[in-house]
Amino acid sequence: MGELKVKEKDVVVPGEVLANGMDFLPGEGVYREKDDLIASKLGLVNVNGRLVKLIPLSGRYIAKAGDTVIGEVVDITFGGWLMNIGAVNNANLSIKDTSEYIGRDADLTQYYNFGDIVCVKINKVIRSKMIDITTKDQECRKLKGGMLIKINPSKVPRVIGKGGSMVSMIKEVTGCRITVGQNGVVWVSGTDSKKEKLARDVIKKIEKEAHREGLTEKIKEFLKK
Amino acid sequence: MAYTKRLDGRKFDEMREIEGKVGVVKNADGSAMFKFGDTVAIAAVYGPKDLYPRFMQNPKKGKLRCYYDMISFSVNERKRPGPDRRSNEIGLVTEKSLTPVLSLENYPNAVVDVFVQIVQANAGTRCAGICAASLALADAGLDMKDLVCAVSAGVVDGKVLIDIDKYEEDVEGMTDIPIAILPRTGEVSLLQLDGKVNREELKEALELVKKVSKKIHNAQKKALQEKFK
């Protein structure tokens, strides 16, 4: 019979035995060796029925299809653009995946130039190395002005909050426009720098205290001051 | 005269005080400090990132690069900074001892850079460096099969000792055996030998290292868990 060796939400290190027996299945960040399930990453244990997986606590962003991310144009090729979205490898934005019509002989820099910050959606990921992105989505657009804040990708769900409660609260109080990318890049644009600064401080605070409970209440109090 | 008592009063199978700390270099993707008594190593990991020049990229597998150096004030007589014969060698053995645990096939065309700096040296620097580097790699969130625990064993006057310090290292005719072990399986990923040793002594040294590697592993685990408390 299988036996689980760790508890839910335990911090485990690479090489730690999480469970033994064939009753459990290895998920993300877990591998099987003979009968044992072993952690291959530093992370939090998450058990869902028979599936044992790890929520990574650090490291680069792992691209997932359907995520909305913010990236920077780093290269332009014949077929489109290469963008840095914080993953190990650059993502590819093909001409046919853009929202605008682009003619055959068009100069691609007129659409997205080097260094442009663009909000994009991940279309397809092959073996977590080749990342195909698109701008054919409502949220996708070029981001002009404002500031970028980088946080740990694993803390993004806390910044967004349940059903977007946290981010909409920050938007309400600071009056800034905010876009949160799943890759941990947050774009903030407000009418004046003071408000942008407040939004940045709040987001940094959320990142720092992400593991605490009752975070929304605490941030509410912080914003009142 | 046989070596019956160690200079600092330790038992023959007793290590110096060990300590690990994670997240010491702010700008790195992962970093760690590891201490064996007075020997202090700091490791910083950058990457995985694209490997340049392009012709070195391998679409099947990523690459690990290790750099080892002693800071000039780490030893009694100033060490001329920068790579030299000894640093290059230790950088290479660090790389070789860490490669078996890393799942580099998950990072094609990429490189992981590890920089190990010895801040304070009192023998056993390569072992402290390997311990720190393996912590830093885990902190950087890389895919790893296991951590790596390294410690140096030695033979002085026919006595097998663990975690030798500078005074013991300088004894005429002593043998230095740095060993790195993967704690879960007990596999050996580094075994160097400097001096003369017979079969029984080497066996005993390996047994001792296996025994104390549990302590090192616990210290490493504690350091990693402490960062996320």
| A40–chain B nearest CA distance, Å | 5
Which residues in chain A (142-201) have CB-CB distances under 8 A to chain B? none
Check A57 against B101: CB less than 8 A apart: no
pLDDT tens for residues A173-216? Answer: 888 999 999 999 999 998 888 889 999 999 998 888 877 777 77
Write out the two tokens for B181. Answer: 């072990």
pLDDT-derived band at B1 (thresholds 50, 70, 90) equals: low
CATH fold for the domain made of A3-56: OB fold (Dihydrolipoamide Acetyltransferase, E2P) (2.40.50)
Taking contacts as CB-CB distances below 8 angstroms, the residues of chain A near B48 are 60, 88
**Below-70 pLDDT ranges, chain A:** 1, 128
Domains of chain B from N-terminus onward: 18-227 (3.30.230.70)
CATH topology agreement for domains A3-56 and A68-143: yes
Could you tell me if B140 lies within 8 Å of chain A, comparing CB atoms? yes
The shortest CB-CB distance from B146 to any of A14, A60, A90 is to: A14
Domain boundaries, chain A: 3-56, 68-143, 147-224
pLDDT tens for residues B11-32? Answer: 999 999 999 999 999 999 999 9
The mean pLDDT of B159-185, rounded to a whole number, is: 93
Class of domain A68-143: mainly beta
The shortest CB-CB distance from A15 to any of B49, B142, B147 is to: B147
Q: Which pLDDT score, from 0 to 100, does residue A30 have?
A: 93
Check A89 against B50: CB less than 8 A apart: yes
pLDDT tens for residues B96-119? Answer: 999 999 999 989 889 999 999 999
Buried b (16+ CB within 10 A) or exposed e, B167-183: ebbeeeebbbbbbbbbb
Could you tell me if B219 lies within 8 Å of chain A, comparing CB atoms? no
| B60–chain A nearest CA distance, Å | 11
Q: Which pLDDT score, from 0 to 100, does residue A105 have?
A: 80
Could you tell me if A88 lies within 8 Å of chain B, comparing CB atoms? yes
Which residues in chain A (23-42) have CB-CB distances under 8 A to chain B? 29, 31, 38, 40-42
Could you tell me if B141 lies within 8 Å of chain A, comparing CB atoms? yes
For the segment(s) A147-224, the CATH number from 3.40.1410.10, 3.30.1370.10, 3.90.1170.40, 3.90.1300.10 is 3.30.1370.10
What amino acid occupies position B171?
A: V
Q: Which pLDDT score, from 0 to 100, does residue B195 have?
A: 92
CB-count burial class (<10 Å; 0-12, 13-18, 19+) for B165: buried
Could you tell me if B184 lies within 8 Å of chain A, comparing CB atoms? yes
> What value of ipTM does the predicted structure carry?
0.87
C-beta neighbour count of B78 within 10 angstroms? 9
Determine which helix (DSSP H) or strand (DSSP E) holds A166, and give its type and residue range.
helix A165-174
Round to whole Å and give the CA distance between B229 and B218: 16
Check B147 against A89: CB less than 8 A apart: no
The answer on pLDDT for B158 being more than 60 is yes
